[in-house]
Structures are given as C-alpha cells and as structure tokens.
Amino acid sequence: MFPGQGVQRRGMGRELFERFPDMVVDADEVLGYSIRDLCLENRDGRLALTEFAQPAIYVVNAMALRAHRETAPPPDIAIGHSLGEYNALHAAGAFGFCEGLALVKARAQATAGVPGAMLAVVGLSRQQVEDVLNATGGTRVHIANFNSARQLVLSGLADEIDAVRPALELAGARLARRLRVSGPFHSPHMAPAAERFEAAVQAARLEAPAIPVVANLTGRPHQAAGMRDALVWHLTSPVLWKQSVEWIWQEYEGIRGNSAEPDGESWEPLHITELGSGNVLMRLIRHLRSEYVAGIA
C-alpha cells in the first residue's frame, strides 16, 4: 500500500538514498535534477509544488518497496492512494522504475498548471456534503476522495473551496481543512491536464500487472486492456479509496456481514504494509475498519 501527494516532507527517504545509489542515479537522469537534494534539502520549498512533490513521493515509495522486498515475501495484491497507484503498478510489474517515474513526471507537469485547492472534510456523510454544496451554490466544488464514510476530500477553485468551508463547519463537520496541495485533483477541473497527460500514457510501455492492483477509479483491479484510459480518467475522477479497501476485505479476508468477530477457521486477517513516507494510510485503514465492522455505509 502506497501513499500519494500530501505526505511529502523535508528529509523523506533519508535512510534509503545511501542504500540504493543506482536508483538515485536513474531518478536524476529521468528528472534532470538531484532527487536527493530535493528530498533532503527542499531548497525554496520545492516539495510544496506539484511538479516536484509527485516525483519525490514516487521515488521514495519505490525505494521503500525495494528495501521491503529484501526480507518480505511477494505481495498478493497492491493498492495506492492517488499518485501512490503508480507505485502499486510498479510493484506489480506493469512498468519499471524509470518508466513509472517518467509517467509521474509527465503527470506532475500536466497537473501543475491547474489552479485550485482541496479540502479535507471529516464528520459528514456524502449526502450531507452534497446538501451543503447544493445549498451554497458550490456546484464547481466536487467530492474528489471517498476516503471513508465520514472522511471526504473536496476539490475546486481556491475561492470556492474557502466559500463552502464555513457552511460545512456549520453543518457539523469536525474538521474542514485545506490540504498541502496546489491543485483541484480528481475533479473535472483537471480535464485540460488529462488531455496533456494522455500523450505520455499512450506512448508508455505498459504490461499486464502480475498481481491485482486495485484502481482508485473503479474500486476493482485494473484490467490490462483498459489501463491506459484508467490512468488518464484517474485525473478527473474521484479516488474510491473506501470502496477499494472494502473490496479487498470482501475478496481476501472472509469477513461475513458486519460482524466484528472472525468467523472461525475460514477467517484469516490480511497483513497490510504501507510503504513510503509516514503512516497516513494505516491510520485511515484503522478508521475504515471501525466503520466497516459497524456497518456504517
């Protein structure tokens, strides 16, 4: 499991750069600058910018994967949140490290010029959020991430995001906070970026994943025939994280109904490993688990 944009921070990957100098050399060649300096020094705050944050996260995630593989058995399934899906596809053999980084570089460049913001909303359901948006006229603000039943992320232009924030708090949101991103990701606002990115996706060499990779776009595993289209549509479509994780639990873990108790010998818990900087997805998994066993839709 791989995190996406927002986890970037100065010092990320510090323990990995010395271990994998070949990956550092390859990354520098693809990017045209020092990935080590970017992550460890963060001069001029470049990690806050989309065009630098996305490649940095991909590289650190990929190095963490390589370190993990030195001692861990091969995974049965892979998943990534937003940008992290590229690391999941890399882990599944859909493309090599450099090919994936070239795609991420093109994705970052395509999306960097689209102005906007994202707002994390905790404590309201999808219906409650949609009601607020309709009541306030926030029709150009879109739900971009379905992280859990009560954790959503909105995308839109910055002034429109700021305009709906007080109404969300008045409706009972426990949290309504801007994210550390500079664009309206996973929303129709990214249509121009998707058009720019499509050429890079069509030119890339992609292989069928060797293990299932659950797509944010559908909450189901990528199909080789539709993978290129899925990567392009991913930019303008919401991240179905809740649906993706619940599908994995239903398919792989044998939970029955809403019971919090294992159902005897047929129940076998998944071993979930988050690779990359921080543990934001593991915290989200714990929250999702509590909703899942309680039957909160």
Token pair for 138? 């926030």
Q: Decide if pLDDT at 261 tops 80.
A: no
Q: Is 82 a catalytic residue?
A: yes
pTM of structure: 0.93
Regarding whether 250 and 135 lie in a shared domain, the answer is no
Those residues whose C-beta lies under 8 Å from the C-beta of residue 182, and which sit 6 or more positions away, are 48, 49, 50, 112, 115, 116, 117
Q: Decide if pLDDT at 72 tops 50.
A: yes
Regarding whether 277 and 215 lie in a shared domain, the answer is yes
* pLDDT per residue as tens digits for the range 117-175: 999 999 999 999 999 999 998 789 999 999 999 999 999 999 999 999 999 999 999 99
Q: What is the pLDDT of residue 255?
A: 42
CB 19 within 8 A of CB 69: no
Q: Is residue 9, in this structure, part of any structural domain at all?
A: no
pLDDT band of 245, cuts 50, 70, 90: very high
- For residue 72, the 8-state DSSP code is S
What's the mean pLDDT when you consider all of the chain?
Answer: 93
Q: Is residue 5, in this structure, part of any structural domain at all?
A: no
Residue 27: closest CA among 41, 15, 38, 43: 38
Q: Is 68 a catalytic residue?
A: no
Q: Decide if pLDDT at 262 tops 70.
A: no
Residue from 81, 82, 90, 189 carrying the catalytic annotation? 82
User: CATH number of the domain that 135 lies in?
Assistant: 3.30.70.250
* pLDDT per residue as tens digits for the range 162-195: 999 999 999 999 999 999 888 999 999 999 999 9
pLDDT band of 252, cuts 50, 70, 90: confident
Bridge partners of residue 155, in order along the sequence:
118, 142
Q: Is residue 78, in this structure, part of any structural domain at all?
A: yes
> Is 118 in a helix, a strand, or coil?
strand
Secondary structure string (H, E, C) spanning 197-248: HHHHHHHCCCCCCCCCEECCCCCCECCHHHHHHHHHHCCCCCECHHHHHHHH
Q: Is residue 8, in this structure, part of any structural domain at all?
A: no
pLDDT band of 13, cuts 50, 70, 90: very high
End residue of a domain, out of 178, 199, 229: 178
* Rounded Cα gap, residues 246 and 211, in angstroms: 18
Regarding whether 102 and 216 lie in a shared domain, the answer is yes
Give the chain's radius of gyration (CA, Å).
Answer: 19
Token match 């053999």: residue? Answer: 93
Q: Is residue 48, in this structure, part of any structural domain at all?
A: yes
Q: What is the pLDDT of residue 268?
A: 55
Regarding whether 121 and 47 lie in a shared domain, the answer is no
* pLDDT per residue as tens digits for the range 86-107: 999 999 999 999 999 999 999 9
Residue 221 main-chain phi, psi, to 5 deg: -60, 145
Regarding whether 231 and 193 lie in a shared domain, the answer is yes
Regarding whether 37 and 100 lie in a shared domain, the answer is yes
Regarding whether 230 and 143 lie in a shared domain, the answer is no
Regarding whether 101 and 53 lie in a shared domain, the answer is yes
User: CATH number of the domain that 84 lies in?
Assistant: 3.40.366.10
Token pair for 195? 């058009």
Regarding whether 132 and 216 lie in a shared domain, the answer is no
Domain with 158 in it: 117-178
Regarding whether 161 and 37 lie in a shared domain, the answer is no
260/52: higher pLDDT: 52
Report how many domains make up the chain: 2
* pLDDT per residue as tens digits for the range 204-229: 999 999 999 999 999 999 999 999 99
Residue from 81, 90, 142, 186 carrying the catalytic annotation? 186
Q: What is the pLDDT of residue 264?
A: 45
Regarding whether 20 and 103 lie in a shared domain, the answer is yes
